[in-house]
């Protein structure tokens, strides 16, 4: 059977995915969607897609299921009707582990005052600062899905004071967890560091705004490994000026790549990262996708899909 793959943007970047998927699905033909004729596209019922930027979904009138190679699917689901086409996000334990490592690294980076000491070195200043121990350092993890829960658990295992927050109730988490907008202000008020791992939805777009920053009491650091549009960039700039935020580590932005004209490139209290906190591993991801595709072909069994009401 032919299994089409829709790349993110450049087809030459798809070769690794095609190779790994073919290895795990040897009885099928994995090919780029562009290699199919118009007549073949009409009969396509499912595809593997890497969050394509500009694809004409109307060329696939019989499409029933999309398996994403990305954990974040907000761009993908904005292009299709979730009532007609089911979408499965990538859930890869390897991705969760990599994200946890990135979160731990940058939380420690802020906790250990690396930015301050690097600046002192530039001016040949020998000055020691008191830092909080893990048990004194409050970390608020906003967004406790698979990635956020894994990161929060890792932080708690190392002795940090962790509070998770999300939009809905969750049971059985090994760390303190609050949910709902009423609890958000309480969760972040006493935080020394805030980690964003929320999905981008109508409810989270611009959630981190002026009111959010004004409710902070400890001038925490903030780490955004979620989506850029969750933070109001103008409000963030004001919060840095007012020292509501001590430092911002930003791996995601509303416009990517970040334009050269952006103020964030040059701000001394902003660390800009090029969306590298948790890159997908095509090898481990392809194995998971291939397993899901095999179940679908054998039993028309579709793994967990994006909820049309929550958009994740």
> Could you give the percent of the chain with pLDDT greater than 70?
99
pLDDT of residue 53: 83
154 DSSP 8-state letter? H
Q: What are the CA-CA distances from residue 45 to residues 59, 85, 203, 289 (Å)?
A: 11, 9, 31, 16
Average pLDDT (113-118) is 97
- Residues 153 and 149: their CA atoms lie apart, in Å, by 6
- Residues 27 and 18: their CA atoms lie apart, in Å, by 14
pLDDT of residue 312: 84
Architecture label for domain 2-92+280-299: 3-Layer(aba) Sandwich (3.40)
- Which of 103, 110, 111, 192 minimizes the C-alpha distance to 143? 103
What pLDDT, in 10s, does the model give residues 274-305? 999 999 999 999 999 999 999 999 988 899 99
172: left (phi over 0), alpha (psi -120 to 50) or beta: left
Q: For residue 12, name the pLDDT band (cuts at 50, 70, 90).
A: low
Average pLDDT (63-81) is 94
CATH 3.40.50.720 occupies which residues in the chain?
2-92+280-299, 93-272
pLDDT of residue 156: 98
69, 280 Cβ separation under 8 angstroms? yes
Checking DSSP bridges between strand 161-166 and strand 46-49, what pairing results, if any? unpaired
Asked if residue 309 has pLDDT above 90, the reply is no
Cis peptide before 257 (omega within 30 of 0): yes
Average pLDDT (171-187) is 96
Q: For residue 119, name the pLDDT band (cuts at 50, 70, 90).
A: very high
- Residues 251 and 226: their CA atoms lie apart, in Å, by 8
Q: For residue 13, name the pLDDT band (cuts at 50, 70, 90).
A: confident
Q: For the packed helices 93-111 and 146-157, what is the interaxial angle rounded to 10 degrees?
A: 50
96, 150 Cβ separation under 8 angstroms? yes
Average pLDDT (64-80) is 94
What pLDDT, in 10s, does the model give residues 213-236? 999 999 999 999 999 999 999 999
What pLDDT, in 10s, does the model give residues 27-48? 999 999 999 999 999 999 999 9
**Where in 69-136 does DSSP place strands (E)?**
86-88
99, 144 Cβ separation under 8 angstroms? no
Architecture label for domain 93-272: 3-Layer(aba) Sandwich (3.40)
Contacts of 148 (CB under 8 A, 6+ apart): 141, 142, 164, 166, 195, 197, 198
- Residues 163 and 75: their CA atoms lie apart, in Å, by 29
What pLDDT, in 10s, does the model give residues 245-271? 999 999 999 999 999 999 999 999 999
Asked if residue 8 has pLDDT above 70, the reply is yes
Average pLDDT (183-189) is 97
269, 247 Cβ separation under 8 angstroms? yes
pLDDT of residue 11: 63
Mean pLDDT of the chain: 96
What pLDDT, in 10s, does the model give residues 82-96? 989 999 999 999 999
């Amino acid at each position: 059977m032919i299994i089409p793959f829709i790349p993110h943007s450049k087809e030459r970047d798809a070769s690794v995915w095609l190779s790994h998927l073919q290895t795990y699905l040897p009885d099928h033909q994995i090919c780029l969607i562009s290699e199919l004729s118009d007549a073949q596209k009409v009969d396509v019922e499912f595809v593997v897609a890497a969050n394509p930027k500009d694809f004409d979904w109307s060329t696939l009138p019989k499409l029933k299921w999309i398996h994403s190679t990305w954990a974040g699917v907000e761009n993908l689901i904005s292009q299709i009707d979730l009532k007609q086409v089911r979408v499965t996000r990538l859930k890869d334990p390897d991705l969760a582990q990599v994200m946890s490592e990135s979160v731990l690294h940058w939380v420690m980076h802020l906790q250990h005052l690396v930015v301050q000491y690097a600046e002192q070195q530039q001016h040949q200043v020998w000055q020691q600062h008191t830092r909080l121990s893990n048990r004194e350092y409050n970390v608020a993890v906003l967004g406790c899905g698979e990635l956020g829960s894994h990161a929060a658990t890792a932080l708690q295992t190392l002795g940090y004071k962790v509070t998770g927050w999300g939009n809905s109730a969750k049971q059985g988490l090994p760390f303190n967890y609050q949910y709902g907008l009423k609890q958000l202000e309480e969760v972040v008020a006493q935080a020394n560091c805030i980690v964003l791992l929320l999905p981008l939805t109508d409810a989270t777009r611009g959630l981190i705004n002026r009111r959010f920053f004004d409710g902070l009491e400890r001038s925490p650091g903030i780490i955004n490994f979620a989506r850029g549009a969750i933070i109001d960039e103008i409000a963030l700039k004001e919060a840095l000026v007012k020292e509501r935020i001590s430092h911002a580590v930003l791996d995601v932005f509303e416009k990517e790549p970040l334009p050269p004209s952006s103020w964030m490139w040059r701000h001394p209290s902003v660390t800009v990262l090029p969306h590298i906190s948790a890159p997908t591993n095509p090898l481990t991801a392809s194995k998971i996708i291939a397993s899901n595709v095999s179940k679908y072909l054998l039993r028309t069994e579709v793994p967990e899909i994006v909820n049309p009401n929550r958009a994740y």
